[in-house]
Homo-oligomer: A and B are copies of this chain.
Amino acid sequence: MAKNVPEVVARRLPRYYRYLGEQLERGVERISSRTLSEMMKVTASQIRQDLNCFGGFGQQGYGYNVYDLHEKIGEILGLNNCYHIIVVGAGNVGRAVANYTGFRNRGFMIEALFDNDPHLIGGRINGLPILDAAQLREYCAVHRPHIAAIAVPRSAAESVLTELEECGILGIWNFSHADLNCRIPVETVHMSDSLMTLSYRISHRTRDDNKGDEQ
């Protein structure tokens, strides 16, 4: 179905999806790669090329039907599925993730958190139960969650990963600082790395500063 899809393209899909969703809400019915490209500040060529990785969704002389394209990209992204998420680690990061519910309407549902701290077990975060990490396997066997967010310290990440793999988890949303090597897909969010990069940019305020104006 999909040709060999470059990394960058996969990462651009959510953005296309977002812009199309916005147009959809505004009642726009059709859109050309050119119009979209102007909105998104990319080249029309790139949009057509990106979409072409997955097939032809437009029509010559007409452009793209906004609803259809939005739908189609949603499908490509797998958003027609409903994902159940568990969060392993109920410390700062786990709490942050559990509090972030902005994706619920896209079919991502956090179901529970796990921790091994007796003080936390039995409690709740944002209405979600904190369960004993010792029950992880058991829980997975029964509830078969799809995605696990790893929010434990680096030292614990690898063993948690192994356990999750054995539990048949389909994908890892990694918030830990560990470099995870595994067969299932991993998507890493390094909040503190991005903060450090920001700090770096602030300290070396250079080219971003004088965009457009070279001298």
A: residues with CB less than 8 A from B are: 2, 5, 10-11, 13-15, 17-18, 40-41, 76-79, 81, 83, 92-93, 95-97, 99-103, 106, 108, 146-147, 170-173, 177, 179, 183-205, 208-209, 211
Tell me if B97 and A193 are in contact (CB < 8 A): no
Q: When A208-B185, A211-B183 are in contact, do A196 and B106 touch as well, CB less than 8 Å?
A: yes
Kindly report which residue of chain B lies nearest to residue A83, judged by CB atoms.
Answer: B199
> How close is A206's CB to chain B, nearest CB, in angstroms?
8
Please give the count of copies of this chain that the complex contains. Answer: 2
Check if A187 sits within 8 Å of B194, measured CB to CB: yes
Known: A14-B192, A15-B193. 11 other contacts (CB 8 A): A13-B197, A76-B200, A77-B200, A77-B203, A78-B204, A79-B196, A100-B191, A103-B195, A108-B195, A171-B198, A186-B198
**Chain B residues whose C-beta falls within 8 Å of the C-beta of A100 in the assembled complex:** 92-93, 95-96, 191
Cβ–Cβ < 8 Å partners of A183 in chain B: 208-209, 211
Q: Which 3 A-B pairs have the closest CB atoms?
A: A78-B203, A185-B201, A187-B198
Cα–Cα, bound, A48→B61 (Å): 52
User: By the criterion CB–CB under 8 Å, are B195 and A173 in contact?
Assistant: yes
B200 touches A10 (CB 8 A): yes
Q: Is the CB–CB distance between A194 and B189 below 8 Å?
A: yes
Which of A15, A103, A189, A200 lies at the interface centre, i.e. has the most chain B CB atoms within 10 A of its CB? Answer: A200
- A77 and B195 CA atoms in complex are apart in Å by 10
Which residue in chain B gives the minimum CB-CB distance to A192? B103
Name the one of B40, B179, B185, B189 contacting A191, with C-beta atoms under 8 angstroms.
B189
